[in-house]
Structure 1
């Protein structure tokens, strides 16, 4: 029979080669043991696959005649899994080819599945599903914070970037350990412990200080001699929403006791640099901790005068300058009125060469006091900024920029009166939890002996003149002071403290050998005259860089309660177990289903679960890549410098997932939902009305909205574009993998990528039609392209569009001014076509119909989410042999329509989670 088929084809491989492959398939199918009732039909591949997959038609196509069944080779096994999946789904043989008998096809699929499962389970029998791994850098940071009571400690950036496997930084396959890594662990641990000690040395008493804008030199720059001659950049004095020309001209004092609380400083622009805003440099955080910040002010309207100016730009391919006349608005800083709308005011913390956003408040036309709570590090100051206002970036001469918010009768601005700081709001005013873990109640004393002293970076008050607040609330600078821990019985105290420290740090009962090993290090250092504190810190540093702390300790098989506590905490808090989990593990009670369920509820309801939300969405949805690209200054200048939009986009996605988790909402919401989480800036971007202010809130979407679900959120649309163009292939591949759970192999090396045409002469769809004519490309593009086409209605920042943008086209240019005040122009190019057809033949006209088709079957959406969460939770990929357990997880969550919280509970109770 085989010989006859080879002669009939006239192009097949030799009989010997065919028999060899058939035999390998047959042996592979029977390798799972006698208990398997069926093996792959060795004739099935020859009858239904070899006609196209014999290596003779297309060198880029899979050649089954050269493919043995070698399950020890991961790449080979992956190919056979794809063969299984495509045959089972009915994709192979393709339409138009002779269809196999259903019973014969089922027998082939089941036999191949048994072979694959048997091969995987045999390979994992020794070590288990999860490769032994270390903590990633964010887990390490959180572990130090929680262990030492220093929630403000920033150590992740001190550590090398983590590798990734299966889109997450949770797998031992990618988390390597090097000399550099260990050195950085030691440096970070030492830094965090010194923070805990410094907090203990000079505990700051809670105090309240009001900082007035008129006292801040960075705000009082209304004299041209201090800041050039650009009125847009100047601050100006305001009282009761009106200008003070005499104060601005130095004919009257800047402040007086009678008007002190009503005096304000006005601005019509934002800060160009990412440092953000205008500094309140008269105060530095006297100690690390939580502070309540209140910001007082209101919005204003500043009259403007216009002057004619010329500017030019290159147009098309002609290179000749084209001149235009425009009315250039300059603010009249002596003519100020009450505001016409609200303005968002961003708040930043600045210190150590770093500026970070910590919150925002709203100013209204009426005097407003906004309040936020923030964590500050020692020595950090505050900055505020009107984040919606334009950023006066000057290019060329000072005359080449325009305030895009200006109108013929003026422009918006804000007036800030004062900032009030209350804190630190520490529950334990001594801040002693970290110190007590390290040194118990042993006293910490200043010393001048450099041989034994531990240098601690402290904050010292260096303000001159009259003090405006309690000690430590003036200007501040850091200084290093040596301290030593005093012990009357060093050896005994060291052993006692080390034992207690390791019990917390190692997340399991401590072996005597561990204590003695570190005690010998203490003895060595102490014997060399390093002193008690330094010697014990050396031992602690070694512990915090050792496998007992850095590595996740899991033995093959069923996890014991301590390993289960660690896995649970790393899953839902991205950190190590707290006291409750440790106590349950010590008593051997954590593994009970009801106890485990109660602990999942407790962990999810605690604020630390936000770490899980952030870490999971950063990897699953690539939110960590939000800054990898910037909008093109040629085509998308209107998005340049729009940090409020970018930050709001990321926060929407995180809060959206947090809401799905909190309310146990069905997984279908990942694809399509009736709501999202918005603030005013993002709502404006989406064209949604009646959302005002910086506060994020749940918003019900209009019935005909294109938004809803994750894939049409601005953050996802940005990270799946390159800043200049969008590609249905790249977006479609991302959606099929991250949202639909369909893996597609990379293109053959001989196939060139399709690049969008920014000249507007041809659409990406037209280019892809030629690309898909390649038989090797068509099969994958049938799956990837439809979601990509559906999302073509959204630009590189997730804004809705009906036409592409181009650098040149027949249409007249669209002109405007960006947030940087610079002119831009682009051309409307060809119309966007967001229609497509799913692989099963169902057509859609736009993204709304596309999402509606997907949610008709909720289980695949839930299956992908369960797989992604399982990878994150266990640090191991979901293999072919895990599929049956994933289906059991889905069965458990099905009664609640696959609620996200229910899926988390089902994962934690599953064998995948409870076994290594």
Structure 2
């Protein structure tokens, strides 16, 4: 494979002869060590060693000294690269004599056979996949499903998993340490106590209405001594108009006659996850599903111009320089009906964290919106006008501007009340976890002197619920102290008998295979040891159960070499499609030996894909394949991109678009080419605004058909992907290009040589990244990889760090005036527009493109390439092992089976579970 340099010329024939002689002298080192046929020495000598011998070593490769050793993965890896580059036509390079087609085909066939046979021989003992443990998400889901505690927060208690082959499913990345086992035990104990607490705390479904005027955190309309600014205040509203007397304290905060019409208004959003305005008069009495009804509407608040002088620095002769800032403050005593709709984010707050749980839309007319949400015990509800600005200003610092304020006023919203109904899932099924732990044994209060199991049982101080005017009145609710704990014991008249009976039943369900008698005795001995020490029946059983849930039978994925038996197949299928353990239907089929039948396996996979639990596949797969889990690893620069700072609704919408898009490909068996280019996506109002797509408003997501020439469509131009491939300050076509070629096209490129420095974009705007890379690509060791990576990276330069379209870069400079405007944080822009973006390029085969639209059309032409990568990624995820050279034939069989549907995604998944890659260890 000759990288011939200028003037290299006729010397090649001499080098070929020398290379052949060296091969002979070295005793044929390109022959497989075990005597099997290896690479064709004559082909290598005629077409490769002229540039890849000991003297020339182009690409640091010396084929004259390279043995093909069957058991040596390092040498095999080099020969795989040789095979792939010859097959792709990259070697010999352009300008060199092309090999005879028949001879080249024979060379590739022989080399492929040697590589595959050596790999299979190496894997014959243990199999493709080595034994691994459950990862964090799998362990959490398995506990949730086993114990009936879908709300249990387990994954966050466990150490971060390692990553190999892009996923956290491989044994080589999932280490097992003392810390890991200790965390498994802690998490199991927590989950079981959650199930026991749910048995105790099963409040009946109830409905409670909370009025905004009763909430102290919402009724902060009088400026405090610390100088809280009017933009940050709430204010009383009645029928879309202000109540100056109420705000001034001349009238009561609420009146029984107008109670349902009263509201509290705001013109800004909550700026902190930890604080803000919550409905603290009610806390979820138990974990579960609740129905929320939220009443409110949008308003328009009058404003007035205010001018202030601000010190800017020292000028000539150290004279102070000031500038005047004119902005508009809200007049909270002059309110009118709204002029636009507003999205209202809904959050749950508790345990020191705030998490988004939904959203509703307010309109100028008062409406009641309804959503269902999942809450943890003790959580409170927060509502927030998420599109309004989120200033970080504190105290009397007034050097900021509401970017939505105009001379005529600014938008806001007014919330009247929320109503909570639930828990909705308080029926018999809610107690399944306790039944699996203790059957029908009673759980009773325990005397502290006797010990027992400590459980959360309710509020520390239930107290009265807030009444009219904020006064506390009778009613249910959790106190501010959060849940309190008490001791309980499980009553048993025959402890030893009950312990063995319950342990046998629990082990049968927890383990995904038949339980051995020795295992029962081992855990029963642990129970007896704890009971002898006076731990009591409940705690002794929890100790034994904890050991079960941290034991290899539960934590490890147990598979024997060769064909998977039905139970192991059930586990592999469940971990693939549900990221959890098998359910009763899979277990039953496996126990009867019927699951392995192709038609049964396919039917079960279809059932599982149609189940809501398949959302776990969507989330786990996209978290790692597309790196969505890294969405918060970087934050937009407050200097260059403060228009994105604190814009959580945009970030959350970006993630949801990608997940809904992938789920739609899976549900509808849509062609794989949609990954690169599609005529639809999923949008809500915030994301549609970001993309510049008209006709979409509100918080709800919907499938949107894209215009023919849209920049969007496919995964590459989704905001989530564009964010995780940028650093928050700049973008790099190298990073994005490498990510696209590897994750979307399946073309691997090696890391750069250690001596080559990374190219850092110039945020001063003097040169573009393309200009810097042009010089970088003249380095021979860099050029071959950059020819593949850079083209898609250049096309994506039309998108900034959050995926917004741009035709010019942003830069910072003290010599150039910044762009006029203000970010969502209320601070003025600090960037100026720099050099134009050039998104044109050419693929390695020479086909040119002008922009991302044309690039997508070129890439989408090779449907099989895109489908091959999907099949490889899904196979690695499903089996916990990389797709090796010897697996390529099976991948092609999957593609052949789905070619008729243009490689539909659902079809690919259903084809994967039928091939030996999936059905064998």
> Shorter-chain TM-score: what band?
over 0.9
Q: 1:81 to 1:450 in 2, by over 3 A?
A: farther
Partners of 2:512 and 2:30 lie apart in 1 by 47
Question: What SS is found at the alignment partner of 1:755?
Answer: coil
Q: 1:881 to 1:450 in 2, by over 3 A?
A: farther
Alignment of 1:871-910 (within 5 A): 871-910=876-915
Alignment of 1:709-724 (within 5 A): 709-724=714-729
Partner of 2:160: 161
1:343–1:363 CA contact under 8 A, matched in 2 = yes
- Shift of residue 27, structure 1, vs aligned partner: 3.0
- Shift of residue 755, structure 1, vs aligned partner: 1.2
With normalisation by structure 2, the TM-score equals 0.95
Partners of 2:267 and 2:325 lie apart in 1 by 20
Partners of 1:20 and 1:127 lie apart in 2 by 38
Partner of 1:729: 734
Partners of 1:465 and 1:201 lie apart in 2 by 22
Partner of 2:391: 392
Q: 1:897 to 1:526 in 2, by over 3 A?
A: same
Partner of 1:325: 324
- Shift of residue 67, structure 1, vs aligned partner: 2.6
1:140 aligns with 2:145: no
Partner of 2:579: 574
Partner of 1:484: 489
Partner of 1:770: 775
- Shift of residue 813, structure 1, vs aligned partner: 2.7
Partners of 2:35 and 2:190 lie apart in 1 by 55
Partners of 1:86 and 1:468 lie apart in 2 by 78
Partner of 2:215: 216
Partners of 2:150 and 2:839 lie apart in 1 by 47
1:809–1:827 CA contact under 8 A, matched in 2 = no
Partner of 1:35: none
**Greater alpha carbon shift after TM alignment, 54-63 vs 335-344:** 54-63
**Deviations 1:589-613 (Å, cap 9, x if unpaired)?**
1111111111111111111110110
1:284–1:476 CA contact under 8 A, matched in 2 = no
1:204–1:429 CA contact under 8 A, matched in 2 = no
Partner of 2:285: 286
1:742 aligned residue (747, 766, 775): 747
Q: 1:312 to 1:632 in 2, by over 3 A?
A: farther
Question: What SS is found at the alignment partner of 1:96?
Answer: coil
Partners of 1:797 and 1:147 lie apart in 2 by 40
- Shift of residue 296, structure 1, vs aligned partner: 1.1
Partners of 2:912 and 2:321 lie apart in 1 by 64
1:340 aligns with 2:345: no
Partners of 2:546 and 2:426 lie apart in 1 by 27
Question: What SS is found at the alignment partner of 2:335?
Answer: strand
Partners of 2:450 and 2:555 lie apart in 1 by 30
Partners of 2:874 and 2:441 lie apart in 1 by 45
1:662 aligned residue (649, 659, 667): 667
**Deviations 1:790-809 (Å, cap 9, x if unpaired)?**
11111111000101111139
1:520 aligns with 2:525: yes
Partners of 2:868 and 2:43 lie apart in 1 by 30
1:830 aligns with 2:830: no
- Shift of residue 903, structure 1, vs aligned partner: 0.5
**Greater alpha carbon shift after TM alignment, 458-467 vs 699-708:** 458-467
1:455–1:483 CA contact under 8 A, matched in 2 = yes
1:652 aligns with 2:647: no
2:288–2:375 CA contact under 8 A, matched in 1 = yes
Q: 1:53 to 1:274 in 2, by over 3 A?
A: farther
Q: 1:719 to 1:320 in 2, by over 3 A?
A: farther
Partners of 2:260 and 2:784 lie apart in 1 by 70
Q: 1:231 to 1:71 in 2, by over 3 A?
A: farther
- Shift of residue 62, structure 1, vs aligned partner: 2.5
Partners of 1:395 and 1:828 lie apart in 2 by 30
**Deviations 1:240-284 (Å, cap 9, x if unpaired)?**
000000000011111111111111000011121123641111111
Partner of 1:422: 421
**Greater alpha carbon shift after TM alignment, 385-394 vs 43-52:** 43-52
Partners of 2:829 and 2:119 lie apart in 1 by 57
Question: What SS is found at the alignment partner of 1:332?
Answer: strand
1:499–1:515 CA contact under 8 A, matched in 2 = yes
**Deviations 1:777-800 (Å, cap 9, x if unpaired)?**
111111111111111111111000
Partner of 2:365: 366
**Deviations 1:117-154 (Å, cap 9, x if unpaired)?**
01110110001111100000111001100000000000
1:805–1:828 CA contact under 8 A, matched in 2 = yes
**Deviations 1:157-181 (Å, cap 9, x if unpaired)?**
1100000000100010100000000
2:273–2:353 CA contact under 8 A, matched in 1 = no
Q: 1:668 to 1:141 in 2, by over 3 A?
A: same
- Shift of residue 10, structure 1, vs aligned partner: 7.3
Partner of 2:380: 381
Alignment of 1:524-535 (within 5 A): 524-535=529-540
**Greater alpha carbon shift after TM alignment, 614-623 vs 599-608:** 599-608
**Greater alpha carbon shift after TM alignment, 864-873 vs 5-14:** 5-14
**Greater alpha carbon shift after TM alignment, 208-217 vs 744-753:** 744-753
In structure 2, list runs of 5 or more residues that go unmatched. 1-9, 466-471
In structure 1, list runs of 5 or more residues that go unmatched. 33-37
Partners of 1:795 and 1:281 lie apart in 2 by 40
**Greater alpha carbon shift after TM alignment, 227-236 vs 191-200:** 227-236
Partner of 2:6: none
Q: 1:22 to 1:296 in 2, by over 3 A?
A: farther
**Greater alpha carbon shift after TM alignment, 593-602 vs 881-890:** 593-602
1:55–1:61 CA contact under 8 A, matched in 2 = no
Q: 1:470 to 1:600 in 2, by over 3 A?
A: farther
Q: 1:534 to 1:479 in 2, by over 3 A?
A: same
1:276–1:383 CA contact under 8 A, matched in 2 = no
Partner of 2:183: 184
Partner of 1:91: 90
- Shift of residue 15, structure 1, vs aligned partner: 7.8
- Shift of residue 395, structure 1, vs aligned partner: 7.1
Question: What SS is found at the alignment partner of 2:327?
Answer: strand
1:247–1:253 CA contact under 8 A, matched in 2 = yes
**Greater alpha carbon shift after TM alignment, 488-497 vs 462-471:** 462-471
- Shift of residue 483, structure 1, vs aligned partner: 0.5
Partners of 1:444 and 1:290 lie apart in 2 by 24
Partner of 1:173: 172
1:247 aligns with 2:239: no
Question: What SS is found at the alignment partner of 2:232?
Answer: coil
Question: What SS is found at the alignment partner of 2:703?
Answer: strand
Partner of 1:453: 452
Question: What SS is found at the alignment partner of 2:607?
Answer: helix
Alignment of 1:531-542 (within 5 A): 531-542=536-547
2:32–2:67 CA contact under 8 A, matched in 1 = no
1:701 aligned residue (700, 706, 713): 706
Question: What SS is found at the alignment partner of 2:250?
Answer: coil
1:841 aligned residue (820, 838, 846): 846
- Shift of residue 901, structure 1, vs aligned partner: 0.5
2:694 aligned residue (689, 713, 725): 689
Question: What SS is found at the alignment partner of 2:132?
Answer: coil
2:461–2:478 CA contact under 8 A, matched in 1 = no
1:854 aligned residue (850, 859, 864): 859
1:292–1:374 CA contact under 8 A, matched in 2 = yes
- Shift of residue 17, structure 1, vs aligned partner: 5.1
**Deviations 1:883-913 (Å, cap 9, x if unpaired)?**
0000111111111111100001000111111
1:12–1:54 CA contact under 8 A, matched in 2 = no
Q: 1:395 to 1:818 in 2, by over 3 A?
A: farther
1:6–1:15 CA contact under 8 A, matched in 2 = no
Question: What SS is found at the alignment partner of 1:824?
Answer: coil
Partners of 2:564 and 2:274 lie apart in 1 by 47
1:761–1:809 CA contact under 8 A, matched in 2 = no
Q: 1:488 to 1:271 in 2, by over 3 A?
A: same
**Deviations 1:386-430 (Å, cap 9, x if unpaired)?**
111111212796121110110111111110111111111115257
Q: 1:396 to 1:70 in 2, by over 3 A?
A: farther
Q: 1:824 to 1:308 in 2, by over 3 A?
A: same
2:23–2:29 CA contact under 8 A, matched in 1 = no
Alignment of 1:591-610 (within 5 A): 591-610=596-615
Partners of 1:411 and 1:348 lie apart in 2 by 24
How many residues align? The count is 905
Question: RMSD in angstroms over aligned alpha carbons?
Answer: 2.3
